[in-house]
Amino acid sequence: MTDQNTPLVEMKNISISFGGIHAVENASIDLYPGEVVALLGHNGAGKSTLIKILSGAYRRDAGDILINGEPADIRNPRDAKGHGIETIYQTLAVADNVDAAANLYLGRELQTPWGTLDDVAMEANARKVMGRLNPNFKRFKEPVKALSGGQRQSVAIARAILFDARILIMDEPTAALGPQETAQVGDLIKQLKLDGIGIFLISHDIHDVFDLADRVFVMKNGQVVGHARTSDVTKDEVLGMIILGKCPPGAIPGPGAMVAA
Amino acid sequence: MADTMQTTTTSTPRKADTNPVTRFFRATEVDTRLLGMIGALLIIWIGFNILTDGLFLTPRNLWNLTVQTSSVAVMATGMVLVIVTRNIDLSVGSILGFTGMLMGVMQAQILPEWLGFGHPAIWALALAGGLVVGAMVGALHGLVIAFLGVPSFIVTLGGLLIWRGATWFVTSGQTVAPMDPTFRLMGGGTTGSIGATWSWIVGLVACLAIIAAIINARRQRMRFSFPRKPVWAEYVIGGIGCATVLGFVLVANSYYWPVAIARRYAEANNIAWPDGGLQIAHGIAIPVLIAIGAGIVMTFIATRLRFGRYVFAIGGNPEAAELAGIKTRWVTVRIFALMGMLCAVAAAISTARLNAATNAQGELDELYTIAAAVIGGTSLAGGVGTIAGAMLGALVMQSLQSGMVLLGIDTPLQRIVVGAVLVLAVWLDTVYRARAK
């Protein structure tokens, strides 16, 4: 899939610094449709900062963002949403006390011609989207609070899908979840890939990453150590990239790679 | 995956192997909490009826009960939205006093000077003025809470003192009376009721509305072929709803005018005085109609409009609401403005009932209003509450007080009982919620 011509997202030579500290320096990453790209690195390696530039939370000092090959000017979260970029927060950003349909449409409720909420239409669409993402999901009438963590995460993801997201940023999507629910989110991600949605996955869990991601980008000290297809490298080699910045033969080295002695 | 499998498999057999009572509740989709409250209310009523040797469940007492409840019930509808968004409004009693005093001064002193005494527009202008001032006071509270970041507890605690003080300054503490005759209808009483015929008409319209609502909801769900309630369940709900409405009308129509007033009315209208006495039914009191109207409008706002959806979403998860692009601050301002306006409605009812505007009007009402909302199932943690529950809560509180008055219990003891019941109700609710999880 990575052989397609235009990447969905291309971030080229991005730099940003906070008070003289280079949080991200000359970093380039790309993402193709239907692909899951994982961003790995220690805390403070700059992966979250880099991705927040894409989601509009931070503004870059230098570099270019291309969406479908076109330069994109992303200044705030609204611009990002305008480009079809949606972020799934690790803190499960759903309103617990209302049902799934209400959460899916929160802030963009469907209304009848009389200006009242069109709950049935919203529920119908919610059933459609949820049926596609998570066919086992049946509890449309209950407050989201009654759902498991994985089901709530699928509500948050369905919300992004409903708003025509083509690029999903998932920041530690399974951090708050148990093993079964993590598996559920994994299934969801595979489902989204089939729909041609590109996903940036930020994770600490290297097992998750090897299960779900097609490629990994490893960052260290604000620089990209290198990137590789998950099929070309082993977990130990990727750990070596994270800890030492050492690029294995299967990976393509970036500016942050340790120079071979 | 295994997780969802589990939930679906456990929910299917649940329907089959439970007892008929549980199955009945599931099919009718009634709120068991609300049902519990109605049960508690009935126990209180029957208990007092036994203790007072049948004085409690008389048309007269029930009719008075509904009239006495209406002022707090109106404010409780707004308090639900305030508490749902994790705020509190301690100033409602003082806003009631302030707007009541303004409406009193407007109709007794200012407007008659301009329009002449007894002008038919006086009551409407005074009421409109009160509503606008109430909304403005509420909006001011909301602005300070939302944009200056002062906690609502503090802002409205300040409001409690400020508006009570302002009430005093309107007339330097003097009581204003009497009210405009038309305005006074809002307080109930013999003339402030709509009579037997109109009561039946209102009752029948309400029944038709209940049936129409059930049919409409069913059609909507059919349109998208969603699962529906069994038909018998719809009949049961419709039947109970209509029976309640008509029963209420029957009670209101069984309370007749006092003999002296009926005699005066007969003389004035040249009606011969029959042997058994002239029996003119009160019918539903106007303040009760106002309260029910407020309840319906507020339920509509809370459940059918975007604004209401936002109120609950903010209560459930303020960050999620903010991330979803909801202007949470303006929603807060609007909630408090609405609350202020409802205080003015309650003020109109209570000044009209008293036929005077006084300094002390509405004192302690903030506590009764909050208690009504909380007894009615509104969670102080936010996100949960219903308008109907809060109004029932107001009725429960008033029933307790009214029953104790009938029993001749002293005011200090009444307060002790009401206070204890409030704590007990919230404790029971906590237990219920913990089980429901």
pLDDT at B13: 41
**pLDDT at residue A260 above 90?**
no
Element (H, E) at A66: strand A62-67
- pLDDT tens track for B3-25: 433 333 334 444 445 677 777 77
Using the beta-carbon criterion (under 8 Å), do A106 and B4 form an inter-chain contact?
Answer: no
Return mean pLDDT, chain B: 90
Q: At what angle do helices B59-84 and B231-253 cross, to 10 degrees?
A: 130
Q: How far is B4 from chain A (nearest CA, A)?
A: 6
**pLDDT at residue A150 above 60?**
yes
Q: Which residue has the tokens 């899939």?
A: A1
For residues A239-260, average pLDDT? 83
Considering CB atoms only, which of A93, A103, A108 is closest to B319? Answer: A93
Domain range annotation of chain A: 9-98+164-253
- Interface probe with A: pick from B3, B28, B218, most Cβ of A within 10 Å: B3
User: Higher confidence at residue B330 or residue A150?
Assistant: B330
- pLDDT tens track for B110-131: 999 888 888 889 999 999 999 9
Torsion of CA B115, B120, B125, B126, to 10 degrees: 90
- pLDDT tens track for B143-201: 999 999 999 999 999 999 999 999 999 999 899 989 999 999 999 988 889 999 999 99
How sure is the predictor about A76, in pLDDT bands with cuts at 50, 70 and 90? confident
Element (H, E) at A13: strand A9-18
For residues A175-181, average pLDDT? 76
pLDDT at B11: 40
For residues A61-66, average pLDDT? 91
Look at phi and psi of residue A22 and say left if phi exceeds 0, alpha if psi is from -120 to 50, else beta.
beta
Q: Which residues of A touch B314 (CB under 8 A)?
A: 95
Using the beta-carbon criterion (under 8 Å), do B326 and A106 form an inter-chain contact?
Answer: yes
Element (H, E) at A81: helix A77-82
Using the beta-carbon criterion (under 8 Å), do A97 and B4 form an inter-chain contact?
Answer: no
CA-nearest residue to A128 within chain B is B224
- Interface probe with B: pick from A99, A106, A112, A151, most Cβ of B within 10 Å: A106
Going along chain B from its start, the domains and CATH numbers come out as 31-190+286-436 (1.10.3470), 194-284 (no CATH)
How sure is the predictor about A90, in pLDDT bands with cuts at 50, 70 and 90? low
Nearby residues of A124 by Cβ (< 8 Å), 6 or more positions away: B224, B226
pLDDT at A91: 62
Tally: H helices and E strands in chain B? 19, 0
What is the SS3 assignment for B190? Answer: coil
- The model carries a pTM of 0.84
pLDDT at A1: 44
User: Is B7's Cβ below 8 Å from some Cβ in A?
Assistant: yes
- pLDDT tens track for A136-146: 788 888 888 88
For residues B388-405, average pLDDT? 94
CA-nearest residue to B85 within chain A is A97
Q: How far is B237 from chain A (nearest CA, A)?
A: 19
- pLDDT tens track for B220-270: 888 877 777 888 889 999 999 999 999 999 999 999 988 888 888 888 888
Q: Which residues of B touch A139 (CB under 8 A)?
A: 7
Number of A:B CB contacts under 8 A? 96
**Cis, peptide link before residue B178, omega less than 30° from 0:** yes
Residue type, A221: N
Considering CB atoms only, which of B226, B312, B320 is closest to A94? Answer: B320
CB contacts under 8 A, B 246-265 vs A, are none
Cα angle B12-B18-B24, degrees, rounded to a multiple of 5:
95
Class of domain A9-98+164-253: alpha beta
